[in-house]
Structure 1
Amino acid sequence: MKKQKLIWQIFPLFLIIIIISLSLEAWYFNRHSRQFFLENTEKELMVRARLIEFKITEILSGKPVQNQKLNDLCRDLGESIQTRVTVVAPSGEVMADSLARTATMENHKNRPEIQTALTGEKGVSIRYSRTLDQNMMYFALPVEGNTGIAAVIRTAIPLTAIEKNIRSTRNKVFGFLILTVIAAAGVSWYVTRKIIQPLEAIKKGAQAFARGDLSNRLAVPDTEELSELARSMNQMAENLTNRIQEALNRQRELEAVHASMQEGVIAIDNQEKIITINDAAARIFNFPAIEMKNKNVLEVARNYELQSFIRTALSTHEPVEDDILIHQDKDHILNIHSSALWDSQDHRMGTLIIFHDITRIRRLEKMHKDFAANVSHELKTPLTTLKGFIETLQEMPDSSSEDRSGFLKILEKNVNRMIELINDLLSLSRLERLEGTGVRFADNQLFILIQGAVAACGPLAEKKQIQIQITCPQDLTVRVDPVLMEQAIVNLVENAVKYSLKNSQVDICARSTSKDIQIDVRDAGPGIAKEHLPKIFNRFYRVDKGRSRQEGGTGLGLAIVKHIIQYHNGQITVSSVKGKGTVFHIRLPSHA
């Protein structure tokens, strides 16, 4: 149903009230003005009757009564006072009349005013006169004689003049009424607009508030009630602005916390639909966070263990914790913890699930276990050997010096092996403690660093009659930690020499490209099978365990090289063909 504006509800009402009030006043005025005119006319007729009463009484007192003289008197008086004068006998016979012939006039005894006058009272009547053919006002005055009422003097005037005066007055009142209504309508319109304008302003302000423009403020009207309303609405807008700002601040804080959290957070309702999710959780399931909202969690995470966990979490009010495995490009081990979600009426609305990616922790735990096992295994072999030969020496006190010398050489070899192992472990531990902050970068000539590494491996290369060929521009500068970089090159060259055949060659080639600086170390060894290539940088990993121990390797050299290159923001890879040698490729940024 179409709503009507307030101004068209108030203004017509004001106008109707004014018109009704003025109409009633006009009606009352017309009514009483008519009564006033009639009363004044009655008084005038009475006064005129009194004025002529004496003269008519003189004629009536004569014997016999001279009707002609009485008739002439009435005619003269009627002309002079512009009034019809009639003298009626007690019998109702018209004795004289100023306007009509008495002979033709009927008996007036039944006239109301005559009847009243014959009782001794003044008689007044307004009625139609058939004689004069118009409405007349009659006033009858009894004339007392010696024996009672001698006659009745009746004065009369037509109501035409009275009606004319009344009509003129009524027209003036009606005209004034119209002018007053027009003026009142204008005043009512002005007053209505005066009332409506502040309400219109308040309405527009409320509409602005409804649109969310809470910065707008209402003007305070002069009216007490409306001013209180405007102040209340302004205060409401200010309070809403503060609360919305607080809510936005809390939301932004919560979003910032969610965005910065490394843990995944998902809130789901009782129907297992996602209420909110942060980026960390979205990355776990490999979906954009904005696309996951309002979706069933099982649409984006098809995992039986997670489904079971969610059902368990929704079926209890207590916290639930478990570890699950998520299968994707790479498997992720997640520690998940749930807490019940409650609304403001303490009704269960869902559950909050927090995901901790503990894949790296579990991998490190496994690496630590494997590392401890490998270290124990690596140390056990030389320690067992040492113990065995020491017991042998103790049990053979009379052994020859030649035997003793052989045993001591074996002991020395195993001790040196343990020393190398411990030194490599210390180097690896020292590299891990650096975490990139202890690396001291400086501009160094790469040719000099390679020469230093080759010199360190010189005795071993001479022993196996292996030539080391260096191909590197002497002006090639690289920004590295010289000690660490030389150690990395030494480990690579030493491995190349160890596994190269006698009378072969090891090539070291360095060059600069538009993107990086490349260092390749190529040997002429037996090569590495394809299945071993991804694992050779792991700690204690050996392609040929027997030969590696025979060569004196600890299995940590390539792990140390990998750490050093990573600290220089570089990359190391390997390529090899079985029976055709191996090439280690180092890529360093042009400006480390």
Structure 2
Amino acid sequence: MCTWLRCGKNSAVLENTSRPFAGWDINWRMKMRRHSFFWKLFAGNLLMMGVILFVAGFFSYRYLNANYQRDSRENQGRLARITKLYFQRDWPRLAGQIDADCKRLFANRTMRLTVIADDGRVLGDSQARAATMENHRTDDRPEVLQALKGQAGRDIRSSETLGSQFRYFAEPIEKGGKILGVVRLAMPVRAIAEGRNVIRNALTWAAMVAVGVAVVIAGMLSWMWHKPIRQITETARAIAAGNLSAKAPAGG
């Protein structure tokens, strides 16, 4: 059993010894609360910017890919018309000369050139021996049949000669209102896909850079906003607790 004096001394000692720890605990809690609020604000800003970047990247890819596909088709069609005019100007030619011209004109090009007579015989090809190629006036070559009717023809399918998929553009060779033959250009679908990959890779690198910039901006915005918002929040809590004299610091 303790006397009043002894108990009072003990309680005073306990109060004095526990007070520093209590203060440290309060400060630690307040500090953690500030840090937690900052990271929540940072995560929110980063998420918002991430959504914006994703949407912008998605629509940018669709737009660029659509433009690339359109430009690729237009360029192939334009080149087919120019090639048609080249052969049409000096028609008729010997089959051997036509084949040599095909290989000379498209020796280092991705596209493949084929010149076809009105009866379907292959007169020249830039990547194969024309003499060994089968007759091209067949139902499985709709672009050739369309060109033999005097209209530009298109199709996408696998080539029986080379065994890979191509996009075909065919133009009729005409003189005096008569269809004399067909000029056909074939673009490998693989080359078209490579163009899409270039766009995708460029956007991927741009997105990586943008993410880095977004992290920095999100951090800066969070640092700018978290202090005044935290002060307003703490003032509101103080008022709710009954401290009606609490005021948020005025900002400039």
Alignment pair present for 1:146 and 2:184: no
Aligned to 1:41: 72
Letter of the structure 1 residue corresponding to residue 103 of structure 2: R
Distance in 1 (CA, whole Å) between partners of 2:208 and 2:111 is: 37
Question: Residue 113 and residue 29 in structure 1: after superposition, are their counterparts in 2 closer, same or farther (change >3 A)?
Answer: farther
Two-structure CA RMSD over aligned residues (Å): 3.2
Alignment pair present for 1:52 and 2:52: no
Distance in 2 (CA, whole Å) between partners of 1:11 and 1:119 is: 66
CA-to-aligned-CA distance 1:130-178 (integer Å, 9 cap, x gap)? 4223333322111113353221101223344443343223212111112
1:175 counterpart (195, 205, 219): 205
Letter of the structure 1 residue corresponding to residue 64 of structure 2: S
Aligned to 1:24: 55
Deviation of 1:9 after TM superposition, in Å, equals: 6.4
1:97 counterpart (125, 129, 140): 125
1:163 counterpart (193, 199, 212): 193
Distance in 2 (CA, whole Å) between partners of 1:180 and 1:41 is: 29
Aligned to 2:102: 74
Taking structure 2 as the reference length, what is the TM-score of the superposition? 0.67
Letter of the structure 2 residue corresponding to residue 154 of structure 1: R
For these two proteins, the number of residue pairs brought into alignment is: 215
Alignment pair present for 1:200 and 2:230: yes
CA contact (8 A) 2:65 2:199 kept: no
Deviation of 1:86 after TM superposition, in Å, equals: 0.3
Question: Residue 44 and residue 209 in structure 1: after superposition, are their counterparts in 2 closer, same or farther (change >3 A)?
Answer: closer
Question: Residue 190 and residue 127 in structure 1: after superposition, are their counterparts in 2 closer, same or farther (change >3 A)?
Answer: farther
Letter of the structure 2 residue corresponding to residue 97 of structure 1: D
Larger RCO of the pair (alpha carbons < 8 Å, separation 6+): 2
Letter of the structure 2 residue corresponding to residue 139 of structure 1: F
Question: Residue 35 and residue 212 in structure 1: after superposition, are their counterparts in 2 closer, same or farther (change >3 A)?
Answer: closer
Distance in 2 (CA, whole Å) between partners of 1:42 and 1:210 is: 69
Higher normalized strand content (fraction of residues): 1
Letter of the structure 2 residue corresponding to residue 87 of structure 1: V
In structure 2, runs of 5+ residues without a counterpart are 1-35
Taking structure 1 as the reference length, what is the TM-score of the superposition? 0.32
Moved more, 48-57 or 92-101: 48-57
Question: Residue 93 and residue 6 in structure 1: after superposition, are their counterparts in 2 closer, same or farther (change >3 A)?
Answer: farther
Question: Residue 21 and residue 94 in structure 1: after superposition, are their counterparts in 2 closer, same or farther (change >3 A)?
Answer: farther
Letter of the structure 1 residue corresponding to residue 170 of structure 2: A
CA contact (8 A) 1:42 1:124 kept: no
Distance in 1 (CA, whole Å) between partners of 2:146 and 2:246 is: 84
Letter of the structure 1 residue corresponding to residue 183 of structure 2: I
Distance in 1 (CA, whole Å) between partners of 2:157 and 2:63 is: 20
Deviation of 1:201 after TM superposition, in Å, equals: 0.9
CA contact (8 A) 1:78 1:85 kept: yes
Higher normalized helix content (fraction of residues): 2
Letter of the structure 1 residue corresponding to residue 206 of structure 2: F
Distance in 1 (CA, whole Å) between partners of 2:223 and 2:237 is: 20
Letter of the structure 2 residue corresponding to residue 72 of structure 1: A
Deviation of 1:84 after TM superposition, in Å, equals: 1.6
CA contact (8 A) 1:85 1:156 kept: yes
Matches within 5 A, 1:429-444: none
Residue 106 of structure 2 aligns to a residue in which SS? helix
Aligned to 1:107: 136
Distance in 2 (CA, whole Å) between partners of 1:122 and 1:18 is: 48
In structure 1, runs of 5+ residues without a counterpart are 223-592
Larger radius of gyration: 1
Residue 113 of structure 2 aligns to a residue in which SS? strand
